[in-house]
Amino acid sequence: MPSFQHILFPVDFSAQNRGIALHVACMARRYQAHVTMLNVLEMPGWAYPGFEYAPTIDLPTVMEERKLCLHSYLKDELQDISITRVVFDGDPAARIAEYSEQHKVDLIMLPTHGYGPFRRFLLGSVTAKLLHDVKCGIWTSAHTPEPPPSPTGYHNVLCAVDLSSKSLPLLQWASEFAGELGVSLKLVHAIPAAKLPGGLEPEGGRFRASLFDWAREDLAKLQKQAGTDSEIVLQGGDVAHVVSQAAKTGRSDLVVTGRGVVQDILGSMRTNVYSIVRESPCPVISI
């Protein structure tokens, strides 16, 4: 069964961090999980000893001051949660990934950042690196400039599946997660090749119809293997757009999607995870 016993909550004292604190608390209470609040002090290279032109910076003192700030940060929001607060210096994404591996973190919860007229199209650099590098699950907030609403629990979970072999454990995980919470689970699958430019319909639409028929057959086999019988949303078009529209139409409050880890020469990360996270109208758990 899905279980999050150790949740990592990286913080940078931003409004976005404060906005998801109640979501972290809600998840921790649900699973009686321990939370580690981690802050990484990112110093410029010249601040470290050994740099030819390093100015005098008392790094231990700076670290102690940061620890004092972290000690009192979000105390009200997380007052009844088992929590550890730690501070490191270095590259934030590297430190977070390292900590999650060494301390058997089950879930990292963080905002996407990247807001603003242009940056709203981009994920924050730390979030993007973590989606690419870490092995555990990652919860990301909706990628909007507005603060997330207070959590009320999950009621409609949407699982984005492809037709690869990796979708079986993903679907099983999502089904168990939804069943554990007693909420509905819906599946969504996008067929990019079925969305042709200019309204083209090869073979009088038979090609497009065949794509949908093949997808339905494969998804039926997938559900039979997983032991599920969830409603399926099947649409032609860009994957992230299809998932986003299905989440909006179905009033989903959580999207579950798969995510790989770089292992091969070109990596094996799911191609669309960045865009799904970026366009989703609700939080996303990628596993």
Q: What is the pTM of this model?
A: 0.87
- Residues 95-146 have pLDDT tens digits of 999 999 999 999 999 998 765 555 555 678 899 899 988 999 999 999 887 7
pLDDT at 166 exceeding the cut of 90 = no
In this predicted structure, the answer to whether residue 269 has a pLDDT above a threshold of 90 is no
Q: Above 70 in pLDDT, residue 6?
A: yes
Instruction: List CB contacts of 215: < 8 A, sequence separation 6 or more.
Output: 163, 189, 191, 234
pLDDT for residue 80: 92
Please tell me whether residue 256 adopts helix, strand or coil conformation. strand
Q: What is the DSSP letter of 54?
A: -
Q: What is the mean pLDDT of residues 176-186?
A: 94
Separation CA 200–CA 194 (nearest Å): 10
Q: What is the pLDDT of residue 161?
A: 94
Domains in the chain: ranges and CATH: 1-146 (3.40.50.620), 153-287 (3.40.50.620)
Q: In what order do the strands lie in the sheet with 107-110?
A: 83-89, 34-41, 6-10, 107-110, 137-140, 284-286, 254-257, 156-160, 184-191, 231-236
Report strand pairing: 184-191 vs 156-160.
parallel
CA dihedral 224, 131, 1, 10 (to 10 degrees): -160
Q: Is the pLDDT of residue 198 over 70?
A: no
CA distance 160 to 271: 13
Q: What's the pLDDT at 46?
A: 44
Going by pLDDT thresholds of 50, 70 and 90, the confidence category of residue 1 is low
Q: Which of the four pLDDT bands, split at 50, 70 and 90, describes residue 86? A: very high
> In this predicted structure, what is the pLDDT of residue 282?
94
d(C-alpha 245, C-alpha 251), whole Å: 10
Side chain identity at residue 40, one-letter code: V
Half-sphere exposure of 200 (CA within 13 A, CB side): 8
Q: Where are the beta strands (DSSP E) in 107-257?
A: 107-110, 137-140, 156-160, 184-191, 231-236, 254-257
The confidence score (pLDDT) of residue 52 equals 52
Residues 92 and 40: beta-carbon distance below 8 Å: yes
Mean pLDDT of the chain: 85
11-59: per-residue pLDDT in tens?
Answer: 999 888 899 999 999 999 999 999 999 999 886 654 445 555 455 667 7
